[in-house]
Structure 1
Amino acid sequence: MSQPPIAPSSAPVAWWFFLTSSCIKLLLIPTYHSTDFEVHRHWLALTHSLPLHQWYTDITSEWTLDYPPFFAYFEFLLSYPASFLDSTIVDLRDGLWYSAPSVLLFQRFSVIISDLVLLTGVWIFVRKQTTLSKKKLVLLFVLWSPSLLIVDHVHFQYNGFLLGWLLVSMGFMVQGRDLIGGFVFACLICFKHLFAVAAPVYFVYIFRHYCCGYGVWRGMKRFLVMGFAVGVVFASAFGPFLYHGQMSQVLKRLFPFGRGLCHAYWAPNFWVFYIILDKILAFILKKLQFNIQEPTASFTRGLVGDSPTFTVLPQVSPAISLAMVILTMLPCLVQAWRFPRQRHFIRWVCYAYSCGFLFGWHVHEKASLHFVIPLGIIAIDSFQDAKHYFFLSIVSCYSMFPLLFEPKEYPIKVILLAIHSILMWSGLTSLFLKISPNSVHRKPRLGKNQEDRLIGWIGGCYLLSLLAVEIWGQFLHAYIFGDMLPFFPLMLVSLYCAIGMIYSWAWQLRVILKSTDTLISKKRKKFI
């Protein structure tokens, strides 16, 4: 009997990728950082200087705490080494907009070190791969993601840390360890509540896979154990604030619906088309001499905190947005209930986050990381997954280019995306090869047929057109229009990338529906 292939050691190659990416991150320390840098510095000072029951009521700075308590506890822990390094970092009043080298180094290093959680999450998947090439590709997609480098290590956030928790949770779920997987996911929600978009998938899958099929009493026992584990997490996070009677204040900070449907820079999602259609209809109706009343706030003003309204189309409320997210998510929820297969779990979660990204309320462009990074885990499963990931990762990364708007960072984002695209192309085309039955030579799976190419001519034209969008926004628009229509280049990036994002969502939906048909067919044959 033949022995199964022995998987090469994962730890050395994983550490090599992590340390190499860390070296790149060290080079990015002096680069531009957004106001999020001051936001997190203020949270260090806030959690260090004030008692816990004042964390969600303080208004010393405009950057009030609006993340769940576990992230506040995380900032609280970070504040102690920060105070030893430089006490001004954690000074609530004198530290406002503090920009000394000490705070720059500390906060940059805190993001780099916290990425160890991301390394842990991806290692859970990498160690199960049987070939070194697959291990390297997964590590390339996750640890060398140009989007994460741009958002976390230049713009400044902790997405790698949070996505690490998500990968750890999904890793346990894929292994069939639903209890610990659900526990870790509950912890993730208490770090950043926007990850709760996938909670319906987790609930349906865990209830069906972990609780049902074991008899009434045993199933009820499992349900209570899972409920207790999740309850402990939420009690640990919100219990102290509930004790001080501040839950309403905490929820108000976590869900500031007054910010409006879209962020100042529109995320490339469904609402981009809705806004543009509204403007086109308003323009046509004005030309036809209809009395159109202009809204008091415009979507193209680009102001954070603005709450614009539509001129012609019906207004969109948070409830409508939520309903659209849940409705579009139903196919994967139905499949998770009818066919709770572990191997499909990552795909369902990614699709759920895609629904949240496309139809959610006040979505940031960075939220595409919630499904792009996990899709990198399953991109090596099939050639179709590889083709989809290659396309999606480029579109997602390019949609974040406007985050780095200063000239000195321009070569950085371009080089990061170009190098990563070349590495993806090289790695995926070498992984998916055809072996001729009459020859020992391998031939690349790159033929004349569209199905045999990593990117077809339609997708290739779309990606190449990103160059035209970039050239217009960076050079031609200002040359032709001067200071007129300053928001148009951003709108063009959002609109063009939204086309790619909607294609990705539709592709994922098609795969889910197709797999549902396959599973139903197999189930019928079983009983014939």
Structure 2
Amino acid sequence: MLNVHNLNYSSSRTLLFQRFSVIFMDVLFVYAVRECCKCIDGKKVGKELTEKPKFILSVLLLWNFGLLIVDHIHFQYNGFLFGLMLLSIARLFQKRHMEGAFLFAVLLHFKHIYLYVAPAYGVYLLRSYCFTANKPDGSIRWKSFSFVRVISLGLVVFLVSALSLGPFLALNQLPQVFSRLFPFKRGLCHAYWAPNFWALYNALDKVLSVIGPRGFLRCLTLCALSSFMFGWHVHEKAILLAILPMSLLSVGKAGDASIFLILTTTGHYSLFPLLFTAPELPIKILLMLLFTIYSISSLKTLFRKEKPLFNWMETFYLLGLGPLEVCCEFVFPFTSWKVKYPFIPLLLTSVYCAVGITYAWFKLYVSVLIDSAIGKTKKQ
């Protein structure tokens, strides 16, 4: 299995090891979801268990369609990594800042993609941990800055980094590590364009050639989604980095629920090309339909006394995913373009999903600005 020349290696033992190792590592993800559900206070409606925000949130996280197919069918260990991220978020909500910082530092050295959300962690820890007191109006009391706390945070990050990168430094292999972590020698986009800003840019370029803690969580999600939108050589799976934290926000406000549903439906559909064999087609369609229907129905129930979660334009766009799937999976294979232009389905999927994800990013950005302005007005 470790022979790099043996690309077609396969055995029942290998499959069992891979599948059960993913399942075993998901124990951490389940525990992290449990801890997050303790911290998140959503909208309180109804006495039924299925209408409680914590139940809805646990289902949205534990049965996340994208995470399910990426880990258990496509085969990766994202559940374990997202477990570390959610657990670090929970610890920050619980005011256990050092534990949260330690968990995030460990997470960052497992996979560098989480560097995208590091600014949110840095600002929040500086504001909520390194400054120990506020003025009566809620602004920072600058004299309360604690050098001891800054040094303790720095020490935690340094020790984790030393343990992780020390062996590479000793063997003079750090340049090789960084060349793999930050592949600027590769193209701006992955072979299958992640449905982000650059997908829209590339499509336009081709056409023109022819013609508080919750505030921290919101900022973390915005960092993740902005990095996905404008990042270099982004993989389509990176959308999960924004979808999962957005799940935590979705049970609190109707506006966040709307953004979550647009983002998760579009983002999950953009993962369809990962499963490209005929036997996987009905599986991925059924799983996504089940998750999407539950997400929409449960959040509609939670916010039934407020305005509809979608306007007509958003509804029309999301329904358009159906004809797109029919076109890509059932019509295109029987056309003469299949041989000459085999990447058209990937192009259509990427560009169509990029529109929805860009729209969700814009709505989230506006909501952050509006909430910030409202918060300042209330303080005054």
TM-score w.r.t. the length of structure 1 is 0.66
The 3 A distance-change label for structure 1 pair 216 and 421 is same
Decide whether the 8 Å contact of 1:175 with 1:342 is kept in 2.
no
User: In the aligned structure 2, how far is the partner of 1:173 from the partner of 1:226?
Assistant: 13
The answer as to 2:322 corresponding to 1:403 is no
What is aligned with 1:109?
20
1:177 — aligned with what?
Answer: 96
2:64 is matched with which residue?
145
- Structure having the higher Rg: 1
Separation in structure 2 between the aligned mates of residue 129 and residue 201 of structure 1, nearest angstrom = 18
Mapping of residues 418-497 of structure 1, within 5 Å = 418-434=289-305, 452-482=307-337, 483-497=339-353
Closer, same or farther: CA 129–512 of 1 in aligned 2, 3 Å: closer
**Which secondary structure does the structure 2 equivalent of 1:433 belong to?**
coil
* SS across alignment from 1:266: coil
1:259 aligns to what SS in structure 2? coil
Shift of 1:378: 1.6
1:106-505 pair list within 5 angstroms: 106-128=17-39, 132=49, 133-213=52-132, 219-284=146-211, 341-434=212-305, 452-482=307-337, 483-505=339-361
Deviation by residue 1:387-429 (Cα, 9 ceiling, x = unmatched) = 2212221111100011111111000000001111221233222
- Which sits farther off after the overlay, 273-282 or 127-136? 127-136
Change (3 A) 1:164 1:282: same
Structure 1 gap segments, 5+ residues each: 1-40, 43-59, 63-94, 285-340, 435-444, 446-451
Q: Counterparts of 2:179 and 2:146 in 1: how far apart (Å)?
A: 36
CA separation in 2, counterparts of 1:203 and 1:409? 41
Quote the offset at 1:487 in angstroms. Answer: 1.0
The answer to whether the 8 A contact 2:40-2:248 is kept is no
What is the letter of the counterpart of residue 346 of structure 1?
Answer: L
Calculate the aligned-residue CA RMSD, in Å: 1.9
Output the CA distance in 1 between the equivalents of 2:11 and 2:92: 44
Greater RCO (Cα-Cα under 8 Å, separation 6 or more):
2
Q: Residues of 2 paired with 1:377 and 1:343: CA distance?
A: 9
1:491–1:174 Cα change, 3 Å: same
1:96 CA displacement: 5.8
Question: Which amino acid in the other structure matches residue 15 of structure 2?
Answer: L
The C-alpha deviation readout for 1:176-206, integer Å capped at 9, x for no partner, is 2222111111110000001101111211221
**Aligned mate of 2:366, from 510, 514, 518:** 510
Distance 1:222 1:61, change over 3 A: same
Q: Structure 1 residues 217, 385: CA separation in 2 closer, same or farther (over 3 Å shift)? A: closer
Quick one: which amino acid aligns to residue 500 of structure 1?
A: G
Instruction: Determine helix, strand or coil for the equivalent of 1:267.
Output: coil
Q: CA deviation at 1:274?
A: 1.3
- Determine helix, strand or coil for the equivalent of 1:169: helix
The Cα shift of 1:477 comes to 2.2
Q: Which amino acid aligns with 2:340?
A: M
Q: Is the 8 A contact 1:173 1:345 kept in 2?
A: no
Residue type of the alignment partner of 1:508: L
Q: Give me the identity figure in percent.
A: 41
Q: Are the counterparts in 1 of residues 193 and 236 from structure 2 also a CA contact under 8 Å?
A: yes
Q: Following the alignment from structure 1 to structure 2, what is the Cα–Cα distance between the partners of residues 217 and 399?
A: 47
Give the aligned partner of residue 85 of structure 1. Answer: none
The two structures have a TM-score, normalised by structure 2, of: 0.91
Query: For the Cα contact (< 8 Å) 2:196–2:228, is it kept in 1?
Result: yes
1:212 CA displacement: 2.4
Q: Is the contact between residue 197 and residue 229 of structure 2 (CA under 8 Å) also seen in structure 1?
A: yes
Tell whether the 8 Å contact from 1:174 to 1:345 is kept in structure 2 after alignment. no
**CA–CA separation in structure 2 for the residues paired with 1:170 and 1:125:** 7
How much does 1:283 deviate?
2.0
The count of residues paired between Structure 1 and Structure 2 equals 363
**In the TM superposition, what is the alpha-carbon distance from 1:507 to its structure 2 partner?**
0.8
In structure 2, the CA distance between the partners of 1:128 and 1:196, relative to structure 1 (3 Å rule), is closer
Supply the distance in 1 between the matched residues of 2:132 and 2:187 (Cα, whole angstroms): 44
Query: Where does the alignment leave 5 or more consecutive residues of structure 2 unmatched?
Result: 134-141
Confirm or deny: 8 A CA contact 1:148 1:160 kept in the other structure: yes
Partner of 1:29: none
Matches within 5 A, 1:78-117: 97-117=8-28
1:210 maps to a residue whose letter is Y
Q: Distance in 1 between matches of 2:214 and 2:203?
A: 39
Shift of 1:148: 0.9
Q: Which amino acid aligns with 1:261?
A: L
Please give the alpha-carbon distance, in whole angstroms, between the structure 1 residues aligned to 2:218 and 2:145: 29
Deviation at 1:128, TM superposition (A): 4.1
CA distance in 1, matches of 2:328, 2:34: 39
Match of 1:16 in 2: none
Q: Secondary structure at the match of 1:257?
A: coil
Q: Distance in 1 between matches of 2:225 and 2:258?
A: 17
